[in-house]
Amino acid sequence: MKQNRLSLNDVEWGEFKIKDIFEVYLSKGDNKADLLDCGNIPLISSGFNSNGITKFINRGDGISEIIPKNTITVDMFGKAFYQDFDYYAVSHGRINILSPLYNLNKNHLLFCINSIDNATKNIFSYNRMCSSSRLSKLKILLPVCNKGNPNWQFMEDYIKQEQKDIAQKVIDYYEQKMLETSFDLVGLEDVEWKEFNFNDVFRKIQRGKRLKKDDHIDGNTPYISSTSLNNGLDGFIGNYENLRKFNNNITLANSGSVGSCFYHEYEYIASDHVTSLTLDKADKYIYLFMATIVKRLEEKYSFNREINDKRIKNEKFILPTDKNGEPNWAYMSKFMQKIEAENLQKVLEYIYIYIS
């Protein structure tokens, strides 16, 4: 028997001040992304992308304390995100932390975020920022039970219902994708390989442009530098002059984490610590294959021996070849699709358990 779907139209709603549900406070100290070493702990700032994450850092400024997971961040413009991990927050970005006063779980907070976003829509700006005082007094709409209290059970059940719908769409999409990649493919040991020069394979080899930290403007464009973490991401900036933008190619770190190589299917700004490598008419999977090959350079270079422009153009690598002795791009693409499909199967097995 099919269970009836929950609808937001079938429940009563009530108004609640945020301060009656959450403790609202700001981070102490002054965490500035450009002054903190890269690491594995998220640093939350203002923004509508990437869950508010501006950088992954090793630790805060020594004054600020790490903020526990299962909290909500609301930036100066009222944008809310659920944080499922311990994190730091910038103080100059006026990141409000909402810590639940009751025993609320992730699903409860995800429901609250939608209500917060609806309540803050179009009422905060640079001229009228979302301060802790204003946010505390803000009223949000939530489903209520017979006694007029928040109906937390409904909220949790509703979020679970919506997540299962999304999970099923993911399953449908990737099951079809796996069918499309269910072809036979010989292994790497059974194909012919040949040595090629960088210059002969890449259509364009260009280093990024120097942009000092002090000249960075907050924005939404990924800034790629020589870190080996987070796909080379060193923050998001809004600069538009005296820089070099690329998209749909790979970057190679010349210094720092020398040899780190990542694929970027989005537009990004490259620092002078990375070189952008562009192929002719290559798809995502070819670039992923090439990134693995190019990354082998980290075995040859180090912090004390950087990959300068002359060295990179003289470098060589071996690639699978076709019957004409040219790079076998079709094979490389299918090989990475096969790898992706094998990993997708593992992910789908987890999702099957989740929705069962």
Determine the topology of domain 8-155 in CATH: Adenine-n6-DNA-methyltransferase TaqI; Chain A, domain 2 (3.90.220)
At 207 the pLDDT is 94
Q: Which residue has the higher pLDDT, 276 or 181?
A: 276
Q: Are strands 38-44 and 80-83 parallel, antiparallel or unpaired?
A: unpaired
Q: How far apart are CA 281 and CA 290, in angstroms?
A: 13
The string of pLDDT tens digits covering residues 36-63 is: 888 899 999 888 888 989 888 888 888 8
Q: What are the residue boundaries of the structural domains of the chain, listed by start?
A: 8-155, 188-339
At 120 the pLDDT is 93
Q: Is the pLDDT of residue 95 over 60?
A: yes
- Band the pLDDT of 122: cuts 50, 70, 90: confident
The string of pLDDT tens digits covering residues 174-228 is: 777 666 665 556 677 788 999 999 999 999 999 999 998 888 888 889 999 988 8
Question: Is residue 256 classed as helix, strand or coil in its secondary structure?
Answer: coil
Task: State which amino acid sits at residue 236.
Answer: F
| Secondary structure E strands in 103-239 | 139-144, 193-197, 204-207, 218-224, 233-237
| The CATH classification of domain 188-339, taken from the options 3.40.50.720, 3.30.420.40, 3.40.50.2000, 3.90.220.20 | 3.90.220.20
At 1 the pLDDT is 43
At 280 the pLDDT is 93
Paired strand residues for 41: 57
The string of pLDDT tens digits covering residues 293-307 is: 999 888 888 767 788
Of residues 95, 90, 56, 100, the one with CA closest to residue 76? 95
Q: Fold identical between 8-155 and 188-339?
A: yes
For the record, the structure tokens of 122 come out as 């179009």
Q: Is the pLDDT of residue 99 over 80?
A: yes
Task: State which amino acid sits at residue 147.
Answer: K
Task: State which amino acid sits at residue 246.
Answer: F
